[in-house]
Amino acid sequence: MLSGRGVFVESKLRIEVPSQGWQQILTARKEMLDAYDRAREQSRSHEVETYHGNVAEAVCRKWLANFLPKRYGVTSGYVVSPGLSSSDKTPHFDVIIYDQLESPILWIEDNPDNSSQGRSLAIPVEYVRAILEIKAAFSAKTVRDSLDHLRDLSPLLQHVDASTDRYKLHLPPTFCCGSIFFELRQTEANSEAALSALIGGVGLRGYFGGVILRGEGHTLPHTARLSFAQSTTPVEDTLRSGKTPLHEFGMSKSVQLADNLHIVSMLKWAESEFAQFAFDLIAMIQGNYEIGRLSSFYGLGGTFHQMMKDCGATVITLNSPPGAEPGAGPERSVSANSGDYER
């Protein structure tokens, strides 16, 4: 810009909320859900309705392959460790994120009916960065099933190899895992059991919870973040009061892990949670994720935020429920016209 004397003065940019392109970033979510809905409709004519689940896995792999930095490959397949014997089972995982610049591929299982995204690859344990379980609907059963499958990794999570170890036997220290659920149906809107089941994953190294891409009946493109919080005192679940269904917000009854340490699982909806999950995932696999700090301002926004900014509002504050301290940063405050955003 020009000053009054005609001298060029550099204008410093500042962070804006909503951020540039936040609506466009949400198109990936819409494309996944559209493909899932088409497959679910087709699946109803099948004797066994599993087709939509297979499509859900495939579209998640496609999205991640396009979104993640190109260092990271995305595949279904197997995690292989020289610390396990040939008689140990090799479980198959829906989504494996690995360092494709460094990793050899131990073997490939091709399915002629699938695209390259449907191939199963065997990845050496030291190059695996994350594993995601993909489920059609959020429920107590699907949460337990996803955690049971992730527990197949337990022998690989018991220790962390030293950087000086020549032969790596365990998953890396930055390894993370979680679940993506495509929808929360009205039949599960009051399922405290589903939310409580998430706490069963706390003992898994790197387990962060996950996301639900859609709530049945929502009119805005909200994604639910599934995370954990801690409290020094016991916390009652939000469903027990009978006033807050999971389509609005959810917090489980706390589980005591130690003196003055109670853990709850939380479910929170927002349009920006899809992008925040995506960038948190990058931060986790790169080893620079920080609890309580935004991983990125890209995709940060929402219909309400945009409306408030357009009408000149100054502050929007979203507070955590009383009694809980965020384990994954649910406390946020937004200054819509100054671009300040704290988490």
pLDDT in tens, 155-175: 999 999 999 999 999 999 999
The residue among 257 and 125 whose pLDDT is bigger is: 125
pLDDT at 9: 62
Per-residue model confidence (pLDDT) at position 308: 76
Percent pLDDT > 90 in the chain is 69
**Would you say residue 296 lies in a domain?**
yes
Q: Is 78 within the bounds of a domain? A: yes
pLDDT above 70: percentage of residues in the chain: 83
CA dist., res. 239 & res. 37, Å (int): 29
Instruction: Give the residue, 114 or 323, on which the prediction is more confident.
Output: 114
Q: Crossing angle of helices 27-43/51-67, nearest 10°?
A: 160
pLDDT of residue 50: 61
The more confidently predicted of residues 89 and 139 is 139
Confidence at residue 201, expressed as pLDDT on a 0 to 100 scale: 95
Average pLDDT of 192-209? 94
Phi, psi angles (nearest 5°) of residue 230: -130, 155
pLDDT band at residue 196 using 50, 70 and 90 as cut-offs: very high
DSSP, collapsed to helix, strand or coil, labels residue 203 as coil
Domain assignment present for residue 105? The answer is: yes
More confident residue, 234 or 243: 234
pLDDT at 7: 63
Does residue 121 form part of some domain? yes
Average pLDDT (2-26) is 80
Are residues 299 and 27 in contact, defined by beta-carbon separation less than 8 angstroms? no
Give the Cα separation of 287 and 280 in Å (integer).
10
CA distances from 128 to 32, 108, 149, 228, 322 (A): 24, 16, 16, 24, 38
Residue 339 is predicted with a pLDDT of: 36
Give the residue among 92, 81, 240 at the shortest CA–CA distance from 155. Answer: 81
| Rg, the chain, Cα only | 21
Residue 309 lies in a domain: no
Q: Which residue has the higher pLDDT, 338 or 29?
A: 29
Q: How many CB atoms lie within 10 A of CB 117?
A: 16
Domain housing 52:
23-229+245-250+266-301
Mean confidence (pLDDT) of the chain: 86
- Give CA separation, 9 vs 3, 86, 125, 164, 165, in Å: 6, 68, 53, 52, 54
Where residue 8 falls among pLDDT bands split at 50, 70, 90?
A: low
Residue 338 pLDDT:
32
| pLDDT of 113 over the 80 cut | no
Tokens of residue 73, six digits: 């490959």
Average pLDDT over residues 14-18: 88
pTM strictly above 0.75: yes
Per the domain annotation, does 131 fall within a domain?
yes
Per-residue pLDDT at 38: 93
| Averaged pLDDT for residues 90-114 | 89
What is the model's pLDDT at position 341?
Answer: 36
Report pLDDT for 53. 80
Mean pLDDT in residue range 68-93: 95
Q: Is residue 199 within 8 Å of residue 255, measured between CB atoms?
A: yes
C-alpha to C-alpha distance for 138 and 250, rounded to whole angstroms: 13
In degrees and rounded to multiples of 5, residue 284 shows phi and psi of -65, -45
Residue 256 resides in a domain:
no
Question: Structural domain tally of the chain?
Answer: 1
Residue 129 lies in a domain: yes
Among the ranges given (61-70, 176-185, 254-263), the one the predictor scored with the smallest mean pLDDT: 254-263
Q: Is the pLDDT of residue 340 over 70?
A: no
Instruction: For residue 231, give Cα distances in angstroms to 205, 260, 284.
Output: 20, 7, 24
- Tokens 């639900």, located at residue: 212
Residue 306 has φ and ψ, to the nearest 5°, of: -65, -40
